[in-house]
Every structure is written in structure tokens, then in C-alpha cells.
Amino acid sequence: EMQLVESGGGLVQPGGSLRLSCAASGFSFSSYAMTWVRQAPGKGLEWVSGITSGGSTYYADSLKGQFTTSRDNSKNTLYLQMNSLRAEDTAVYYCAKMGIHFIDYWGQGTLVTVSS
Amino acid sequence: QSALTQPASVSGSPGQSITISCTGTSSDVGGYNYVSWYQQHPGKAPKLMIYDVSYRPSGVSNRFSGSKSGNTASLTISGLQAEDEADYYCSSYTSNSTRVFGGGTKLTVL
């Protein structure tokens, strides 16, 4: 059974950093592009970043330079390094598996709260 | 990259059909046949309902259909059921290899 389990969320102070992890199982992780999507409380979905199976990365314009996505295919794990966090980065962060040009499977999400 | 434009809310009675629109630009919706639709119930992760404009994943009811004309894509739900009440989001591939979502539409089944 396919599973994506996010971890690393929590409370962080403004200006701080956090690294999210997403452990994948039940499919050939190294063969698929992956993506991060976030959802602020009571708001809509926002695409954050994507990484191809080969490791090329893409970011939402508003987040370039602030977030870094990486993957470790030997550990079947996706990462999101988040720096210089602001209150507006408070959201549930979803890890998701890509089909070709669509998300075909989502994790359950991890909540990041940026507050003093 | 600006969010795609969706109506904030739509409603319909059981058995009726509704359509949700998703308007972008020639750099996203209009430029590629890579529009997807997601259903999200409260407190749950989104679920893929339509991909590549009009294809249904295995297990998704054939009451859900998608289409596109120019810069606007549409999701139609026929034979509305109570369980269809949820938020719906469109998404598109973009010209700089990123993705963009719509603002979301809340569907109410009356």
C-alpha cells in the first residue's frame, strides 16, 4: 500500500528554520517526481515546490531562496528545508507524489506554526 | 504566478448537475492540456478527481467530468449526491515548469 508520512512540523519562532521530512513507501520512490503543497488555516491550496526523479527542483516564485527541496532516494525520503520563516508560512504542509503532470497521491500533512 | 480563478462557491440540489470553472492564462490552463481537479473534505487530504483536463483516475465516479476551452477549464458533477459536498481545486502546469492552484470552490449540496 502506498504511504507518504510527513514529519518535522511544529511551532517555530519568526525568523527560524525547520526541516520537514516525508517518508515514502509502497512504490518505487526514485522513479517519481514529488512535490510539496501547503494550506494555510481556512485557506486554499498553494503549490510550494517540486523535484523531479533526477533531482531538478522548481519553486513557487514567492518562495525562491527561502525554501529548499531535496530527496534521498536511498532512504525513500523527501525533504523541505524552510528558512527565515514568517507568520504567513503557517500552514499544513503536504507531501505528494506526482503522476506526469498531476498529483496522484497525497500524504496527510504536517502542521507548521510560526509564532512567538 | 497568480492563482487560477474559481468561483468561491456553488450549490445544487441532489440529482442536479453543477459546473465549476477555472480560469487561467495562455501560460497555464490555455497553453497545456495538464489541468487537474482535486476534491477535499474538511480535515482531509485532497483527492485527485480529474487529470489532463478530462481523464478520470480509477475509482472515481463517472459522474465527474472535465473539459477545457481556451484559458478556462471546467469540472462538471452530474447526479449530485450529498457526499459530493466538499471543496474543489483546479491546478495547472505552467510555462516555467511549476504548478498553480485555483483559489478553491466550496460545493454545497442543498
Work out the average pLDDT over A45-56. Answer: 96
How close, in Å, is residue A36 to chain B by CA atoms? 11
Q: How far is CA A108 from CA A6, A62, B3, B103, in A?
A: 7, 24, 23, 20
Backbone angles phi, psi at A39, to 5 degrees: -145, 110
Separation between Cα atoms, residue A111 and residue A90, nearest integer Å: 8
Is B37 within 8 Å of B49 (Cβ atoms)?
Answer: yes
Q: What is the pLDDT of residue A65?
A: 86
Residue A56 pLDDT greater than 90, yes or no = yes
C-alpha cell at B23: 480560469
Separation between Cα atoms, residue B56 and residue B76, nearest integer Å: 12
- Residue type for position B44: K
The 10s digit of each residue's pLDDT in A4-23 is: 999 999 999 999 999 999 99
| Chain B residues inside the 8 Å CB shell of A44 | 3, 87, 89, 101-104
Q: How far is CA A24 from CA A77, A110, B34, in A?
A: 6, 14, 25
A36 interfaces chain B, CB cutoff of 8 Å: no
Q: What is the pLDDT of residue A64?
A: 80
Nearest CB to B98; choose among A60, A100, A102: A60
Residue A62 pLDDT greater than 80, yes or no = yes
SS3 state at A91: strand
The 10s digit of each residue's pLDDT in B97-110 is: 999 999 999 999 99
The 10s digit of each residue's pLDDT in B25-75 is: 999 999 999 999 999 999 999 999 999 999 999 999 999 999 999 999 999
How close, in Å, is residue B78 to chain A by CA atoms? 23
Classify the C-alpha dihedral A57-A3-B86-B10 as positive or negative. Answer: positive
Query: Beta strand pairing status for A34-39 and A91-98?
Result: antiparallel
| Chain B residues inside the 8 Å CB shell of A105 | 48
% residues pLDDT > 90 (chain B): 97
Most B CBs within 10 A among A95, A101, A111, hence the mutation to make, goes to: A101
Residue A84 pLDDT greater than 90, yes or no = yes
Q: What is the pLDDT of residue A19?
A: 98
How close, in Å, is residue A116 to chain B by CA atoms? 25
More confident residue, B6 or B1: B6
Residue B91 pLDDT greater than 90, yes or no = yes
